[in-house]
């Protein structure tokens, strides 16, 4: 692991403020990756083995629908986290994630991270609190979108 | 407090006209052009049949009469400094708005107003931050940033404000950030204006809740693009208009980023009838929104009232 990679990991909002040794542990499972526009970061149905910390560019979370093609469910950008299914069995992706722009991301090996979190419950708990906060924010945003805010009932 | 007793006018947001019988009589305006924004939203350009067009401030609204049908409160969507006709952008949701959207060039529309408080742009411009003082001399000033957040047709009352801000700030500094949310790409209003604002230096982000084939823009709640916007929360004023739930979430996202709630302005709407603080239809807590609103700072009681159901 390079010092540079550890710095990149430490600078991502998911991990910002974590103690240096915790960052080093996460960085030990990480590698730096680049995706061209259109490339898949992850594909529905494949084994879920990676947590992506997006550093630059936008990523579309998509699902394929027969007759409608690719439907974008959400767009995320720099500072976002892509890929949660490595957290819980059966460790399988539910959606596609595709680079819209040239994307730079830190790819953290999910199995490696789970193993380290099991071995160091304090680190595991610190990580889980951060992961839970992001998941909660995503859940809240999804709930509001389900309301159809701008529809006929929402008026203006 | 009785409905007509009123409350202290929030700082900087000037109240609309006081009651007066002239404000109760619709003035005839002629539709000089109409523009279809989306399948159910139309912008009407109006010119007075006699005399000159009214003076107004961005954020204010008029009561528009579809003759023989009824009246509806509609925000003025053009800019006061524009030399063109007075513009109103109407979404067809019921009887009156349907008639207004169906009005043809040459038809007459009644106009009463302008009513209500405005976005307080004069006060925004007074919020000049001193950059540094050397030897007792102030060397530089920089205007604060302005973040405009609109959902759906909520961009209508903000359109004039964005034009005014861009005109003033081109030489005075201070960023203008515009975040727009719509249900889907077909519901995005003022597409040409959004492009023009980008060319004029505004940071414009558009997001939709539901994507569509061919859409390559952002998909997600308007608060998600707000998170990526560039502004300094300690010296920013926010102008927010849209469905009330969207305004509440936006105001929370802005305060979470460190903004003072008093510098977040929201546009509140309740059913209007007289527009001149007589009938009490638009009462919300201590406010008569036709006079004390629609634009109010999202601080104290207003933040609480934003969750109140209409009575
Ligand atoms: C200050 C202010 C500014 C406004 N600016 C605009 C604007 O720029 N463009 C625009 O299209 N509309 C605007 N509105 C909303 C507009 O006044 C209403 O949509 C209109 O009065 C509905 O009248 P209607 O006869 O067409 O519908 P109705 O037949 O009376 O009602 C149809 C549906 O619209 C709902 N509705 C009625 N009044 C309102 C309201 N005030 N807010 C939300 N829903 C309402 C009703 O509950 C009903 O579901 C504004 C309202 C206010 C108070
Ligand atoms: S008192 Fe506000 S509309 Fe009549």
**Can you tell me the distance from the alpha carbon of B141 to that of B136, in angstroms, rounded to the nearest whole number?**
14
Tokens of A86: 């490595």
- Closest atom, ligand 2, to C-alpha of B275: 3
Q: Which chain B residues touch A149 with a CB distance below 8 Å?
A: 151-152, 181, 183, 209, 242-243, 245-246
Query: In this predicted complex, what is the ipTM?
Result: 0.82
pLDDT score of B10:
47
* From B154, B217, B249, residue closest to A156, measured CB to CB: B154
Domains and CATH numbers, chain A: 3-150 (2.60.120.10)
All CATH 3.40.50.80 domain ranges of chain B, comma separated, are 121-128+140-305
pLDDT score of B122:
80
All CATH 2.40.30.10 domain ranges of chain B, comma separated, are 20-115
pLDDT score of B140:
44
B269 touches chain A (CB under 8 A): yes
pLDDT score of B208:
94
pTM for the whole thing? 0.87
- In 3-state terms, what secondary structure has residue B221? coil
Q: Which chain B residues touch A150 with a CB distance below 8 Å?
A: 151-152, 181-183, 187, 209, 242-243, 246
As beta bridge partners, residue A61 has A74, A97
Planar angle of CA A149, B245, B284, nearest 5 degrees: 125
| CATH, range B121-128+140-305 | 3.40.50.80
What is the CATH architecture assignment of B20-115? Beta Barrel (2.40)
Between the CA atoms of B261, B265, B267 and B273, what dihedral angle is there, to the nearest 10 degrees? Answer: 100
Phi and psi, residue B97, nearest 5°? -65, -30
* Interface touch A154/B245, C-beta < 8 Å: yes
Q: Cα A4 vs. chain centroid, distance in angstroms?
A: 21
Q: Which chain A residues touch B183 with a CB distance below 8 Å?
A: 148-151
With a Cβ cut-off of 6 Å, ligand 2 is lined by: B 272-275, 277-282, 288, 290
pLDDT score of B131:
43
pLDDT score of B83:
82
- Closest atom, ligand 2, to C-alpha of B291: 2
What number of helices (H) and strands (E) belong to chain B?
7, 17
Per-position pLDDT tens, chain B of length 311: 333 344 444 444 555 554 455 588 999 999 999 999 999 999 999 999 998 889 999 999 999 999 999 999 999 999 998 888 999 999 999 999 999 999 999 999 999 999 999 999 887 765 554 444 444 444 344 578 899 999 999 999 999 999 999 988 766 668 899 999 999 999 999 999 999 999 999 999 999 999 988 888 999 999 989 888 888 898 899 999 999 889 999 999 999 999 999 999 999 988 899 999 999 999 988 899 999 999 999 987 888 777 655 55
């Amino acid at each position: 692991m390079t010092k540079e990679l550890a710095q990149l990991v430490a600078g991502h909002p998911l991990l910002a403020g974590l103690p240096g040794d915790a960052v080093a542990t996460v960085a030990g499972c990480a590698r730096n990756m680049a995706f061209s526009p259109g490339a898949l970061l992850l594909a529905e149905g494949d084994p879920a083995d990676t947590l992506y910390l997006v550093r630059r560019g936008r990523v579309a979370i998509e699902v394929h629908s027969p007759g409608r093609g690719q439907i974008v469910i959400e767009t995320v950008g720099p500072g976002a986290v892509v890929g949660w299914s490595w957290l819980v069995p059966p460790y399988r992706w539910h959606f596609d994630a595709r680079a819209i722009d040239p994307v730079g991301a830190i790819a953290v090996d999910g199995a490696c991270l789970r193993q380290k979190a099991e071995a160091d419950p304090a680190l595991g708990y610190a990580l889980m609190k951060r992961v839970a906060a992001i998941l909660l924010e995503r859940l809240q945003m999804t709930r509001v979108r389900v309301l159809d805010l701008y529809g006929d009932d929402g008026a203006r | 407090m009785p409905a007509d007793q009123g409350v202290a006018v929030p700082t900087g947001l000037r109240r609309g006209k006081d009651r007066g019988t002239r404000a109760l009589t619709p003035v005839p305006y002629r539709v000089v052009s109409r523009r279809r924004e989306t399948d159910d939203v139309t912008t009407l350009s109006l010119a007075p049949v006699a005399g000159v067009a009214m003076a107004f401030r961005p954020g204010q609204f008029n009561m528009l009469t579809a003759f023989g049908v009824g009246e509806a409160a509609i925000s003025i969507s053009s800019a006061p400094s524009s030399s063109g006709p007075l513009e109103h952008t109407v979404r067809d949701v019921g009887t009156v708005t349907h008639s207004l959207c169906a009005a043809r060039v040459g038809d007459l529309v009644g106009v009463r107003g302008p009513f209500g408080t405005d976005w307080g742009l004069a006060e925004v411009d007074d919020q000049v931050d001193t950059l540094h003082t050397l030897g007792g001399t102030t060397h530089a000033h920089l205007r604060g940033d302005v973040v405009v957040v609109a959902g759906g047709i909520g961009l209508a009352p903000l359109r004039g404000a964005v034009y005014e801000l861009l005109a003033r700030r081109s030489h005075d500094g201070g960023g203008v950030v515009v975040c727009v949310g719509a249900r889907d790409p077909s519901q995005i209003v003022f597409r040409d204006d959004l492009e023009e604002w980008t060319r004029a230096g505004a940071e414009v982000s558009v997001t939709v809740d539901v994507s569509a084939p061919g859409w390559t823009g952002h998909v997600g709640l308007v608060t998600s693009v707000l998170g990526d916007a560039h502004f300094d929360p300690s010296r920013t004023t926010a102008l927010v208009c849209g469905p009330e739930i969207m305004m509440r979430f936006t105001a929370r996202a802005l305060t979470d980023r460190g903004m003072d709630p008093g510098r977040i302005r929201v546009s509140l709407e309740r059913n209007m009838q007289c527009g001149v603080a007589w009938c009490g239809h638009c009462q919300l807590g201590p406010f008569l929104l036709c006079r004390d609103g629609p634009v109010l700072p999202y601080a104290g009681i207003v933040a609480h009232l934003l969750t109140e159901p209409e009575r």
